[in-house]
A and B are shown apart, each in its own frame.
Chain A
Amino acid sequence: MKRAAAFLAALLLAPSTSFAVSSPFGIATPDGGGALGWAGPFRGFFVWIAAEQSSFYRSLTGALSELSQSSHAAWFLIGLSFAYGVFHAVGPGHGKAVIASYLLATGDTLKRGIAISFASGFVQGLTAIVVVGIGTILLKVTAVTMTRATDALEIASFAMIALCGVWLLWSKTVGRHEHGGGSTAGAGTHVHDASCAIHGHGRLGLDRSGIGQRDMTAAPARFSAATLGQPRLAYSGFSATSATTSVDLSCDCGHAHIPDPATLTMPLTFRSGLAAIFAVGIRPCSGAVIVLVFALAQQLWWAGILSVLAMSLGTGATVSALAILAVKAKDIAVRFTGNGRSVLANRVLRGFELAAAGGILLFGLAMLGGALASG
């Protein structure tokens, strides 16, 4: 088990070994990120991806050039942009690793994961539009200045990613224990779930944004329903006996319950979800910036914006697919280790979450260090 956890941690940390890169021409920075995929069993796939995105990019700029002559070219351009976004996002950058790790760390739902993926892609497109809008149209800056601006945004993005990692780690370790709830509450594993509801304590606490959990900390070993105070009203559905019977924390329902992440982490998710979206999204990708400036140079700003938005959609689709894969992989690992019914499953889940949060932190720090060193 430990070996598997170590392997997982190594896997998550692997992308952090490569750093942000400077541009060979001093303008337009390559999208940073690892070359991990090349070495793995999927290299054939990535070779194909590299060839595809290269040809889409060329067709895309070609379509932009021909746009002034044909109105059909606009649809062609949008389709190409979407396809380019899909393929391009498989390449480095675009926060796939961060978003996927974030979803693992928070145990966010698939639906929210997809929403976060698309939102991060959209913010990334928007950043490119804002940067080019301000830089090229308003300030008429040079490519050198523009590159400095995007590099600064990149550094901000990496710093935010690292902070996101710190925040997630904190909330998964210190923060969680302070609340006394969660999947592991020390030696006396906190046990409850639907079939356990007769005991009437924790399920309520979980469903009511953790009020019950805090109260439980106050009564660490045994507590009666009376000490729960507020939640008592909500007990109306239960029999008087169960509500007044004191509850043993080592309740013998026979299994530890993994709290429903959707309810447990809701306040955390909302705020840190936005943070993750912006951490990833404030770093515009070179491809989008170049295409926008190129469109502007031909007075085709609307085509540039449509193209970048279509690209964002494509990027969001790819990031979503990878996010789904990450969440499903976690589900499978957790299910196969006992379907939420064992201490092992709990450890696997915790291992995933901590490794993912730690991975985000180290990824952010490594990229930040690399960007600052090369800048």
Chain B
Amino acid sequence: MLRRRLLLAVALLSAGMATASAHPHVFVDAREEIVFDATGKMTAIRHSWQFDEAFTAFAVQGLDANGDGKLSDDELQPLAKVNVDSLKEYRYFTNLKVGNKHVSVDFPSEYWLDFHGGRLTLFYTLPIRTPIAPGAHATLEVFDPEYFVAFSFVKNHEIALTGAPAGCKASVRPPHELDDATMAQLAAIPADQHDLPQELADAASSLATLITIGCS
């Protein structure tokens, strides 16, 4: 009896102590592009991520060094460098798979920021370490399982296949409705863990927008 009462008290306490995972502070409207070589292999992923107005305001503060009211490429480039350097630890929120195998990417070969209409857009290219043909079933996800960044995709411009052989097609599957159990399981991942184990990354896929690429 005593123990049961104690457990009740502890349960109450745990409710008080429990903390939830992060929620988005950065909202991104993304466009993706996959670049193919002449032999039909994927060689790079190009990201175009447009940030929301509030995060943009935060990001561009103090960058107008010459005070001309405009943000030049020179003024923006150091921030672009900080962005891609920091994204590395998060694996660029990018998960490209051929069949069920994860495809490795290298540090961005090019990156820059563009400021237009009060919103900042980060453009960068991730070279695929070993170019590979997508085959019948390749998938691309751009997703932050920790929800600090909320990715959504620009309607009808989610994915472009550049230089892809005829017969290659991409399709987009919107995220599943948030299923409590799955999401809870996923979000139990500690906040400091950025490189998710593959099975967890797989589990995350139902919550991400899934881009499927297939060549016949």
Contacts and interface: CB of A to CB of B under 8 A. Distances in A.
B23 A35 contact: no
A22 to B, nearest CB: 7
B180 A88 contact: no
Contact of A38 (B21, B85, B144): B21
Contacts of A294: 53-54, 57-58
B195 to A, nearest CB: 13
Interface in B1-46: 2-3, 5-27
A125 interface: no
Contacts of B148: 21, 23-24, 30
A20 B16 CA distance: 21
B197 interface: no
A42 B61 CA distance: 39
B18 A36 contact: yes
Contacts, number: 247
B23 A54 contact: yes
Nearest to B60: A143
A97 B10 contact: no
Contacts of A50: 20-21, 23, 147, 187
A122 interface: no
A21 B12 contact: no
A80 interface: no
Contacts of B194: 21
Interface in A1-46: 4, 7-8, 11-12, 14-15, 17-28, 30-44, 46
Contact of B178 (A23, A35, A47): A47
A201 interface: no
A36 B10 contact: no
Contact of A33 (B11, B149, B185, B191): B191
Contacts of A33: 19, 191
A38 B194 CA distance: 17
B89 to A, nearest CB: 7
Interface residues of A, number: 88
Nearest to A146: B61
A209 interface: no
Nearest to A60: B54
B193 to A, nearest CB: 8
A287 to B, nearest CB: 6
22 contacts: A8-B10, A15-B17, A18-B190, A18-B191, A19-B190, A21-B191, A21-B192, A27-B79, A30-B191, A36-B17, A37-B21, A38-B183, A38-B184, A54-B150, A58-B52, A61-B52, A91-B20, A91-B21, A101-B17, A146-B62, A294-B53, A297-B61
Given A30-B22, A44-B184, A92-B20, 19 more contacts: A24-B148, A36-B19, A42-B18, A43-B187, A44-B180, A53-B23, A57-B25, A91-B23, A142-B62, A143-B63, A146-B58, A290-B54, A297-B57, A325-B12, A326-B13, A329-B10, A329-B13, A333-B9, A337-B2
User: Which 3 pairs show the lowest CB-CB distances between chains A and B?
Assistant: A26-B86, A43-B184, A37-B18
Interface of A: 4, 7-8, 11-12, 14-15, 17-28, 30-44, 46-47, 49-51, 53-54, 57-58, 61, 64-65, 88, 90-92, 96-97, 100-101, 135-136, 139-146, 286-287, 289-291, 293-294, 296-298, 322-323, 325-326, 328-330, 332-333, 336-337, 348, 370, 374
